[in-house]
Chains A and B, each alone.
Chain A
């Protein structure tokens, strides 16, 4: 069967080469380029597998207005201590819409209440989005609770100028 053939590394490599050659033939203008630039930077990197990694808190921010990773989004990450949120660190979403390092990992991954303050207003202003003044969403607080530090938490956040969604991911 064709699918079984693709599972064999040598044949799979051959099949991929054939695909690449076909693609090059279809795109004569790009034939000289080693690796064509991705049409959309947001789609430029593959999925990141987190299965089996040590307990940690990770975040992934996606801009549903532009259909892109929220590169450049500032996130102030705080922990609730003594009744108020104390800043732990500020991160900026990278090319993939993630923080370069987990927000919490290993010893720093402790049970508690945390806040991610998303600077949605500055983000859309930097993109030149035409929005009311002040915009509907400015600094968006996302508050989460870490209960079981034996389990990692991945936090995908999708946001636009008029909506946002977050959930426990994987």
Chain B
């Protein structure tokens, strides 16, 4: 498998973040180009890869996670969390999860 997948986990509940809006942009263009806009399913993933294998290519991408709408914490540290990264080898799969709480955000290249 190639392309980009994501997974959002809410560490305040220990559960997947369900129904959280996620967008994928191509940020090599100015302004960035919206490639996909979806919401996480009950497993905290998107039903289909946010960048499907058929569209896999090298480039600069950005995931945007709408955590403010999810947590609804008035003093939350972030509203929309951007995660900007490169696909440097289109033959590889890029799994980019987000672990989050209203005051904590962590992302990494997963598998």
| Chain A residues engaging chain B, CB cutoff 8 angstroms | 113, 132-141, 143-145, 147-148, 153, 162-168
Contacts of B107 in A (CB 8 A): 163-165
Cβ B77 vs Cβ A167 within 8 A: yes
Query: What separation, in Å, do the CA atoms of A22 and B28 have in the docked complex?
Result: 59
Residue of B nearest to A160 (CB): B108
Interchain nearest-CB distance for B99 vs A (Å): 8
Number of interface residues of B (CB under 8 A): 23
Contacts of B42 in A (CB 8 A): none
Contacts of A140 in B (CB 8 A): 84
Interchain nearest-CB distance for A158 vs B (Å): 9
Contacts of B88 in A (CB 8 A): 132-136
Contacts of B80 in A (CB 8 A): 143
Cβ A163 vs Cβ B78 within 8 A: no
Query: What separation, in Å, do the CA atoms of A143 and B65 have in the docked complex?
Result: 12
Residue of B nearest to A166 (CB): B105
Cβ A138 vs Cβ B76 within 8 A: no
Contacts of A139 in B (CB 8 A): 84
Contact with A along B77-89 (1 / 0, CB 8 A): 1111110111011
**A113-B79, A134-B60 in contact; A162/B108 too (CB < 8 A)?**
yes
Cβ B79 vs Cβ A134 within 8 A: no
Query: What separation, in Å, do the CA atoms of A163 and B110 have in the docked complex?
Result: 9
Cβ B79 vs Cβ A143 within 8 A: yes
Q: Choose among B68, B74, B103, B108 the residue that contacts A167 (Cβ–Cβ < 8 A).
A: B103
Q: Could you list some 13 contacts between A and B, CB below 8 A? A: A134-B60, A134-B86, A138-B60, A140-B84, A143-B80, A144-B77, A145-B76, A145-B77, A145-B79, A147-B74, A164-B106, A166-B104, A168-B77
**A163-B108, A164-B106, A167-B77 in contact; A143/B82 too (CB < 8 A)?**
yes
Interchain nearest-CB distance for A134 vs B (Å): 4
Cβ A148 vs Cβ B75 within 8 A: yes
Interchain nearest-CB distance for B89 vs A (Å): 7
Query: What separation, in Å, do the CA atoms of A138 and B88 have in the docked complex?
Result: 12
Cβ B84 vs Cβ A141 within 8 A: yes
Cβ B104 vs Cβ A135 within 8 A: no
Contacts of B84 in A (CB 8 A): 137-141
**A143-B79, A145-B77, A167-B77 in contact; A135/B109 too (CB < 8 A)?**
no
Contacts of A141 in B (CB 8 A): 82, 84
